[in-house]
Amino acid sequence: MTNAAFICPFVAGVDEVGRGPLAGPVVAAAVVLPVSAALEGLTDSKALREPQRQALEVQIRARAIAWALGEASVEEIDTLNILQASLLAMRRAVAGLGVAPSTAWVDGNQHPRVPMMVRTVVGGDGMIPAISAASVVAKVARDAMMVEFDAQYPGYGLAQHKGYGTAMHRRALEQRGATPIHRRSFAPVARLLSRTQHTQDYG
């Protein structure tokens, strides 16, 4: 049997976005870039403005040997915890690649337990092009999801803050309560639900 990973030892960059928000899934991407790829301005997605990310994401998808997304739902985040859900999303992204990488370069210091050699790199999304590319692809995908959720759950500002715990978001939570996409295991949401339950029980 031909082993494509042995013949052509692809390297996948892997990163996730959305560990910090109070709402929405955590999304990961895996990207295999050709050695010759030179994407001007490519860096950690957090250091880029939205138009820059979107333009780069189009170039990454066009030039990549392979790319894939993986996500873990709000229910999985609340059941597993955010770290384990993030690693699960990474595994799903790597599994979705159309090629078999020989190595995965993963942003951070946690091993996602994928079936290939792994190198973790703290700050890799700002140093390793394949990881930077994964960061951009994941960020653009998750942002688009949150815009869709904004239409489904108006009044929370999800399209603006993408689910992060901004003052605007916290005020909306206090006024409107939690939606099905809010992470019940995260402290601000848990406190709100606890107060609501207390009011229902004793109010």
Q: What is the pLDDT of residue 35?
A: 83
Q: Where are the alpha helices (DSSP H) in 26-166?
A: 50-63, 74-80, 82-95, 129-152, 158-161
Q: Are 28 and 71 in contact (CB under 8 A)?
A: yes
Q: Whole-prediction pTM value?
A: 0.90
Strands 11-17 and 26-32: antiparallel
Question: pLDDT 10s per residue in the chain (203 long)?
Answer: 233 333 457 999 999 999 999 999 999 999 999 987 779 999 999 999 999 999 999 999 999 999 999 999 999 999 999 999 999 999 999 999 999 999 999 999 999 999 999 999 999 999 999 999 999 999 999 999 999 999 999 999 999 999 999 999 999 999 999 999 999 999 999 998 887 653 333 23
Query: How far apart are the C-alpha atoms of 149 and 131, rounded to whole Å?
Result: 27
Is residue 113, in this structure, part of any structural domain at all? yes
Q: Please state the domain count of the chain.
A: 1
Q: What is the pLDDT of residue 196?
A: 63
Is residue 144, in this structure, part of any structural domain at all? yes
Query: How far apart are the C-alpha atoms of 112 and 182, rounded to whole Å?
Result: 24
- Tokens 């392979």 found at: 66
Is residue 1, in this structure, part of any structural domain at all? no
Is residue 4, in this structure, part of any structural domain at all? no
- In order of 10, 52, 89, 193, the CA distances from 16 in angstroms are 20, 18, 8, 28
Range of the domain at 130: 9-202
Is residue 117, in this structure, part of any structural domain at all? yes
Q: DSSP character for 72? A: E
Q: Are 81 and 70 in contact (CB under 8 A)?
A: no
Here the CATH number for the domain that contains residue 195 is: 3.30.420.10
H/E stretch holding 17: strand 11-17
Is residue 2, in this structure, part of any structural domain at all? no
- Tokens 């250091």 found at: 47
Is residue 157, in this structure, part of any structural domain at all? yes
Sheet holding 66-72, edge to edge: 66-72, 26-32, 11-17, 103-107, 117-121
Is residue 179, in this structure, part of any structural domain at all? yes
